[in-house]
Amino acid sequence: MNSSEFDHLLSERLAQFHQHNLLRKLRQIDGPQAIHIQIDGKPRLNFSSNDYLGLANDPALKSQAANAVALYGAGSGSSRLICGSLSVHHELETALARFKQTEAALTFSAGYAAALGAITALVGKGDVIVIDRLAHACIVDAARLSGARLLVYPHNDMDRLEQILRRLDRGAQKPSPASRARILIATESVFSMDGDLAPLRDLADLKDRYGAWLMVDEAHATGLYGPNRRGLIEDQKVSDRIEVQMGTLSKAIGSSGGFICGSRLLIDCLINRARTFIFSTAPCPASAAAAIAALQVIASPEGTHRLDHLRRLAGRFSEGMAKIGDATARSSPPATRLDPPFRAIHPWILGEESAALQMSTRLDQAGFLVPAIRFPAVAKGAARLRITFTSNHTFEEVESLLKALDPSQTT
């Protein structure tokens, strides 16, 4: 194929994306990650960041990152197994294990890499992985890559999950525990695009009953839920029942990188088998140091203060949206048996991709950054606005967003 054919094919694909309202473009942001940002020289109020505790541009994180650059340099040099296992990575892992109250932790260059590495290390051909229909792409991709049989249960549907497990149980000939197919259940705890919660206690009960393992992705819960902000696992009091706890350093923790927490044996296995750990250069020292600083802020009175503010902001928005929703019947967060203690993530499901795009454009013109979330991030026809809050927002800013969203207030 010559290059003009190649170009032709690519431009046809892009035209298709455009035609289906699924084309994405990057928006350049001038300046740091923050609530007030500049796009194309115009100010926007940002309601789309996962920097829930406003730590990404926090002075404490920045100074620790800068110290780490001074101490360790900019790069890590190699994979951790070759010569990149710098003391800052070990310090972070000790801090993460203490924070999550597990025996050990292992960090990766991203949450995506953590999922890919852990799942493919734990299950393979002949095994089974059972995931929630709305589980994050990194879990889906990892499951496919692992070679295990992939089964999907409807979102948070414990009856259907039990049916699947029962069927697997019946089908399994159990000559010896060692040769038995392993079953891994994987879910998010707080769902990234809907903001609702997985019933972790029910999941833990089921996996115990059927001899499966459970992996929980706490990307949107770490730092936010539970008495010590360890995550939903702590909030739902199942800390000692989950085999694999996964998280990212890039959301409430304000840095970048991913991690797995669990037993010492689990972590030793991952060091030996997780290919995204073995064959990838260690995370840069600055991001590890920033994450350590973030864990300190989260555990401090300042961290508590930020979270309280975020809770109140999110509560005020939920109240306001309930009114708008009642008036228009357009706001439809999915039904869930568990009400989150608070919602830092508010989906406003608009259905058609074009409807979500229109709404997002209207908000953009009014000075708000709330991107349209579309396929493949969510199902086709389930396009939405995904509104997120951080502790750096003010009540006035939340009121102004509510006003912009309220169709009765627009002409």
Ligand X SMILES: *Cc1c(COP(=O)(O)O)cnc(C)c1O
Among residues 99, 112, 153, 342, the one that binds ligand X under rule CB under 6 A: 112
* In the complex, minimum distance from the CB of residue 39 to ligand X, in angstroms, rounded to a whole number: 21
| CB closer to ligand X, 80 vs 220 | 220
89 is catalytic: no
Q: Is residue 248 a contact residue for ligand X (CB under 6 A)? A: yes
* In the complex, minimum distance from the CB of residue 366 to ligand X, in angstroms, rounded to a whole number: 27
Catalytic residue among 58, 217, 218, 235, which?
A: 217
Catalytic residue among 188, 194, 196, 218, which?
A: 188
- The tokens for 259 are 């991690």
CA–CA dist 144, 194 (Å, integer): 23
346 is catalytic: no
Stretch that binds ligand X, among 19-27, 70-78, 109-117, 377-385 (CB under 6 A): 109-117
Q: Is residue 110 a contact residue for ligand X (CB under 6 A)? A: yes
CA–CA dist 71, 99 (Å, integer): 25
Catalytic residue among 50, 280, 287, 392, which?
A: 50
Q: Is residue 111 a contact residue for ligand X (CB under 6 A)? A: yes
Among residues 93, 196, 202, 217, the one that binds ligand X under rule CB under 6 A: 217
Q: Is residue 49 a contact residue for ligand X (CB under 6 A)? A: no
Catalytic residue among 49, 76, 100, 136, which?
A: 136
Give, as ranges, the residues between 132 and 191 that touch ligand X (CB under 6 A). Answer: 136, 138, 188
Stretch that binds ligand X, among 83-91, 93-101, 212-220, 387-395 (CB under 6 A): 212-220
251 is catalytic: yes
Q: Is residue 258 a contact residue for ligand X (CB under 6 A)? A: yes
- Tokens 């699924």 locate to 22
332 is catalytic: no
Q: Which residue is nearest to ligand X (CB)?
A: 111
207 is catalytic: no
CA–CA dist 385, 351 (Å, integer): 10
- The tokens for 22 are 């699924």
Catalytic residue among 100, 220, 309, 393, which?
A: 220
Q: 57 — alpha (psi -120 to 50), left (phi > 0) or beta? A: alpha
* In the complex, minimum distance from the CB of residue 52 to ligand X, in angstroms, rounded to a whole number: 12
* In the complex, minimum distance from the CB of residue 150 to ligand X, in angstroms, rounded to a whole number: 17
Give, as ranges, the residues between 304 and 363 that touch ligand X (CB under 6 A). Answer: none
Q: Is residue 384 a contact residue for ligand X (CB under 6 A)? A: no
Stretch that binds ligand X, among 110-118, 311-319, 325-333, 400-408 (CB under 6 A): 110-118
220 is catalytic: yes
Stretch that binds ligand X, among 62-70, 164-172, 213-221, 382-390 (CB under 6 A): 213-221
| CB closer to ligand X, 110 vs 398 | 110
| CB closer to ligand X, 44 vs 136 | 136
Stretch that binds ligand X, among 59-67, 108-116, 140-148, 302-310 (CB under 6 A): 108-116
CA–CA dist 406, 335 (Å, integer): 22
The CA–CA distances, whole Å, from 23 to 18, 138, 368 equal 5, 21, 20
Q: Is residue 250 a contact residue for ligand X (CB under 6 A)? A: yes
Residues at the contact surface with ligand X, assessed by CB under 6 A = 110-112, 136, 138, 188, 192, 217, 219-220, 248, 250, 258
Q: Catalytic amino acids?
A: 50, 136, 188, 192, 217, 220, 251
